[in-house]
Amino acid sequence: MRSHGQAAWELLLPAAAAPARRRGRALQEALREAVRSGRLAAGTRLPSTRALAADLGVSRGLVTEAYEQLTAEGYLRSDRGAGTWVGDAARGRLGGAPATGATPDPGGETRAGEALDALGPRPATPARGAGAPAVRVDFRPGTPDLSLFPRAAWSAAQRAVLARLPHPALGYPDPRGLPELREALAGMLTRRRGVVAGPERLVVCSGVAQASSLLGFVLRARGLDAVGIEDPGSPEHGRLFASTGLDTVWLPLDEEGLRPEPLAASGVRAVVVTPSHQFPSGISWSAERRAALLDWARAVDGYVLEDDYDGDFRYDRAPVGALQGLDPERVVYTGSVSKSLAPGLRLGWMLVPEALLAEVVERKRTMDLGNPVLDQAVLAEFVTRGAYDRQLRRCQRAYRERRDALLSALAEHLPGTGVSGIAAGLHVIARVPGRYGPAERFLARSAEAGVALRPLEEYGTARPGDGDVRLVIGYAHLAPAVVTAGIRVVAEAVGRG
Amino acid sequence: MRSHGQAAWELLLPAAAAPARRRGRALQEALREAVRSGRLAAGTRLPSTRALAADLGVSRGLVTEAYEQLTAEGYLRSDRGAGTWVGDAARGRLGGAPATGATPDPGGETRAGEALDALGPRPATPARGAGAPAVRVDFRPGTPDLSLFPRAAWSAAQRAVLARLPHPALGYPDPRGLPELREALAGMLTRRRGVVAGPERLVVCSGVAQASSLLGFVLRARGLDAVGIEDPGSPEHGRLFASTGLDTVWLPLDEEGLRPEPLAASGVRAVVVTPSHQFPSGISWSAERRAALLDWARAVDGYVLEDDYDGDFRYDRAPVGALQGLDPERVVYTGSVSKSLAPGLRLGWMLVPEALLAEVVERKRTMDLGNPVLDQAVLAEFVTRGAYDRQLRRCQRAYRERRDALLSALAEHLPGTGVSGIAAGLHVIARVPGRYGPAERFLARSAEAGVALRPLEEYGTARPGDGDVRLVIGYAHLAPAVVTAGIRVVAEAVGRG
């Protein structure tokens, strides 16, 4: 094993230069101090005694003795024949308490980032409290089925990309994104989502959250001080825009889309909307409201951020094209592979109006210089070869099956429950009759039974007060049998009303 | 080929539903309009006539006729037997002129981002002006040799990672970075760079530029309004910090490091420094100045950003440990794989003082939710297996050889040239005697001969006025023979003084 740089071992050189009679002890002291001080971190593999002795110009016996001594003292640990490592008994000298968030989230499945693209707040359900039973079925929305990630195909595309990519492509990226990916995405989005796209308008970014940050900074620099968000909608947008210096204003929805009067009265000049499949209500905006929103944007010289977070997953035949296709100079369109491939790829896109383009690109540049190149090239390969379309069809089949399982289970086990937003996406809204409630009891009993649910009221200001229990149920990440079992468990826990 | 989603073709459904006698024409009109409007982008592959006919419920002959008609008109193009694509003759309806920067940079090798990690400004050399001869040898600093990227080993690590990574790891990332990578990097940096690191202090980011942005936002939120930068140093830091609302103040260096008096008088409470191998001068800060800087930081309750941009490349034996090891609570340490692997990976790290950690992580979260997971896992694999150390040794050997070629060529072809900053890094400072000057003529003649050079004065405010020509010469990306040839060409172009 000759995989070690020499830098750290040079710490030991002064000891090696000590007079012969105390060289062994000096070496042990230096090594011990290096471990104690954290300069050799726990888990670091030490060079072989032969290699270190050669590097230091001392006898191998001296090094062996030092390793044995420190192993005996607990600074090092060794596996017979496999090598010697720095142990974790000694503690470094970093001041302060363990870092905030340094311990894993007890919920495990809800890391800090997860709520973001899910466009939902951190869960406040009792399921995550201390002493609560483990979550067995988690219906909180936002995560796709990660087991559907096409590992073999992705791996093959990675190999192909590394074999063909010219050397200069490994250099500093174009902050707008890899040209071949922008070309591929523009074609794909035009075809699938009815947008008006050209590669020159497309900016590759790390996902919808970064798109929101980028646009937030640009709008703030233009003097805007607030952005409107749908009510119900995503409180997480508030946190994102707050990081750019913008306030957020809830704007009420009805069953057709954003209500025009409160929008006009709000004074904002930018809004974030989800017109194809509103989050979380699941409605599709009416044509009139789409047109009215664009009229408003033109009248106030404003902009619309269209978050097409699950536009790829429609289960009916009605084409719901993106709003952007109606006015590419007023709508910033954004989407990502988070639901179709994996959120961990952090790969998304924006279509940006001409007037904002240079500012968005400059922000992207100062934020990270551009997205990593290899994943971009792999996605371009994927889209161009048709593998992305295949993946979408595969997800769509799986998710439709799960939705159907959910609808059947609700009908069977919680009869009377109304369900909306079922035509598309990865979640539905369920309105469970008041006889199963009240909501606090419903959620608490479910949580006690190991089922995590998220109430609709976490996504907005409405409090209907009719006693019904409104839930946002994510199903895409759960196998059909798990969906069915989860709803049955809930029904048993809350009792027949 | 069944790789097409159905969405776009649904645009054609109304035409397919037209009365039989005008169905063919309606189909052609709808297809033509879809191309003309940009809804079907140039380069999009059309479904086979059989598949589209089946989807639309029309006869295959009708589709064949439509394809042939539109191919004849130039909307589509077809390769006999290989398929039919949307042509690029029709122009979409995007308003406005071509996007700023949409055309490739004529220089090619200096994309917008490149200057950033290079910590240098955009070149202002005549080599890039209109009509200037092509750059044959580019000595501008900042790029490693991209041909040294270990493609086979990286590809193998990618395969291994995709085979073993558990599904949940593909979900939303930890904004601090993948735990296994933070563990591996903390050990590696402790060992190689003498820092005090634990995984709980390490934040994975997209590189030094993002580290600067993250820290800039955090300091701005704490009320700071300016950051000090070394003079000479990197003007690009000014642009990065400006994007976070911070001004930058040049602080003079001497041959030992930052001069204490101007620092104290500046009123800033944060500085960016490169003490291990100062950019661009190449000096290593003296121990006294390192201590003085930390004393200053403690006295003003300030912070130091240590940009260890090329700390991995030392050609002598003197260990120059990172400043961070002396005070991990005052120094934010940052580095990346941009010089050791490839800038296109956009993968770097920060070691963050306890007091700033939560704010930095929250900024990282709102900026992009965290770095992409797969590349992080691959780098962890690389570091843990020893492949990263091997790569560093390989680069170091190559770069030392190129440095030696440069020093020999300067001594032979431009005798009397003083060279400094040669002990480490990917560039040197050359001070060419005034008899070869003046500088404007020297640079212009070199550029005319196809050699791009960058003068030292682009990196700071000093204007010595002694007539010597001071250059920052990057050599790491050039083969030894190219280095030698480039210097010979310069000598011939500028004439013996």
Beta bridge partners of A331: A304
Among all residues of chain A, which has the CA nearest to that of B108?
A168
pLDDT at B112: 29
Are A181 and A157 in contact, with CB atoms under 8 Å apart?
Answer: no
- Given a cut of 70, is residue A81 above it in pLDDT? no
Q: Give the residue on A whose Cα is nearest the Cα of B314.
A: A7
As a whole number, the mean pLDDT across chain B is 84
Decide: A445 and A370 in contact? Cβ < 8 Å: no
Give phi and psi for A265, each to the nearest 5: -80, -15
Of 3.20.20.150, 2.40.110.10, 3.40.640.10, 3.10.20.310, the CATH number of B151-388 is: 3.40.640.10
Burial of A131-159, coded b for 16+ CB within 10 Å and e otherwise, reads: ebeebebbbbbbbbbbebbbbebbbbbbb
**Where are the domain boundaries for CATH 3.40.640.10 in chain A?**
151-388
List of chain A residues whose C-beta atoms are within 8 Å of the C-beta of residue B185: none
Nearest by CB: A162 against B44, B155, B347: B155
The residue of chain A nearest to residue B91, with distances taken between CA atoms, is: A198
B55 burial type by CB count under 10 A (0-12 exposed, 13-18 middle, 19+ buried): middle
Phi-psi region of B146 (alpha: psi -120 to 50; beta: other; left: phi over 0): alpha
Does residue B301 contact residue B327 with C-beta atoms inside 8 Å?
no
* Strand partners of residue B202: B351
Distance of CA B344 to the CA centre of its chain: 6
* Minimal-distance CA residue of chain B relative to A387: B3
Interface test with B, best of A6, A76, A94, A172 (most B CBs within 10 A): A172
Residue A427: which H helix or E strand, with range?
strand A427-432
Nearest to B335 by CA among B196, B472, B167, B206: B206
Contacts of A358 in chain B (CB under 8 A): 99-101
**Angle at A245 (CA atoms; ends A242, A246), nearest 5 degrees:** 70
Q: Report the alpha-carbon distance of residue A490 to residue A453 in Å, rounded.
A: 10
Do A406 and A422 contact (CB within 8 A), yes or no? no
What average pLDDT does range B211-216 have in this prediction?
A: 98
Nearest-Cα distance to chain B for A424, in Å, is 13
Q: Considering only CA atoms, which of A2, A75, A7 is closest in space to residue A42? A: A75
Residue A34 — very low, low, confident or very high, per pLDDT cuts 50/70/90? Answer: confident
Q: Which of A436, A159, A487, A385 is nearest to B378 (CA)?
A: A159
More confident residue, A184 or B23: A184
A195: nearest CA in chain B? Answer: B39
The CA angle A28-A30-A31, to the nearest 5 degrees, is 65
Distance to chain A for B62, nearest Cα, Å? 21
How many Å lie between the alpha carbon of A55 and the closest alpha carbon of chain B? 12
Whether B346 sits inside 8 A of A368 (CB atoms) is yes
pLDDT in tens, B432-466: 999 998 999 999 999 999 999 999 999 998 888 89
Q: Could you report the predicted ipTM of this complex, rounded to two decimals? A: 0.77
Q: Which tens digits make up the pLDDT trace of A356-370?
A: 999 999 999 999 999
> In the predicted model, is pLDDT for residue A48 greater than 90?
no
Interchain CB distance below 8 Å, B99 and A43: no
CA-based nearest residue in chain A for residue B180: A43
Instruction: Inspect the interface and report whether the beta carbons of A172 and B386 lie closer than 8 Å.
Output: no
The region of weakest confidence among A305-309, A406-410, B21-25, B169-173 is: B21-25
**CA–CA min distance A65, chain B (Å):** 21
Task: Say if pTM beats, i.e. exceeds, 0.90.
Answer: no
Chain B partners within 8 Å of A123 (Cβ): none
Q: Is the model more confident about B110 or about A198? A: A198
Are the CB atoms for A379 and A387 separated by under 8 Å? no
- Looking at residue A68, its pLDDT comes to 78
The residue among B31, B183, B368, B378 with the most chain A CBs within 10 A of its CB, best to mutate, is: B368
| CATH fold for the domain made of B108-147+391-494 | Aspartate Aminotransferase, domain 1 (3.90.1150)
**Dist. CA A11–CA A33, nearest whole Å:** 10
- pLDDT tens for each residue of B313-367: 887 654 467 899 889 999 999 999 999 999 999 999 999 999 999 999 999 999 9
> In chain B, which residues fall in CATH 3.90.1150.10?
108-147+391-494
Alpha helices in B165-259 (DSSP H): 179-193, 208-221, 235-242
Where exactly does CATH 1.10.10.10 map onto chain A?
Answer: 7-86
Handedness of CA B207, B210, B216, B217 (dihedral sign): negative
Q: Of all residues in chain A, what percent are helix, strand and coil, respectively (each to 5)?
A: 45, 15, 40
**CA pseudo-torsion sign A231, A236, A239, A243:** negative
Q: How confident is the model at residue B4 (pLDDT cuts 50, 70, 90)?
A: very low
In the predicted model, is pLDDT for residue B208 greater than 90?
yes
Q: Which residues lie closer than 8 Å to B17 by C-beta, 6 or more apart?
A: none
Closest-CA distance, B100 to chain A, in angstroms, reads 6
CB contact under 8 A, A209 and B366: yes
Residue of higher predicted confidence among B95 and A176:
A176
Confidence category of residue B111, pLDDT binned at 50, 70, 90: very low
**Residues B418, B422, B426, B428: what is their CA dihedral angle, to the nearest 10 degrees?**
-20
Strands B303-307 and B331-336: parallel
Residues of A in contact with B162 (CB under 8 A): 151, 154-155, 158
Judging contacts by C-beta atoms under 8 Å, the chain B residues touching residue A335 are: none
Least-confidence region, from A329-338, A467-476, B111-120, B218-227:
B111-120
Tell which wins on pLDDT, B493 or B70. Answer: B493
The correct CATH number of A7-86 out of 3.40.50.150, 3.40.50.300, 1.10.10.10, 3.20.20.70 is 1.10.10.10
Q: From B369, which residue of chain A is nearest by alpha-carbon distance?
A: A113
| Confidence (pLDDT) at B81 | 65
In the prediction, which pLDDT does A106 show?
30
Residue of B94, B191, B215 best to disrupt the A interface, most CBs of A under 10 A: B191
- The residue among A7 and B472 whose pLDDT is bigger is B472
Residue among B366, B388, B396 with most chain A CBs within 10 A, to mutate = B366
Q: How many helices (H) and strands (E) does chain A have?
A: 16, 16
Contact B109, B135 (CB under 8 A): yes
Which of A461-465, B131-135, B157-161 is least confident?
B131-135
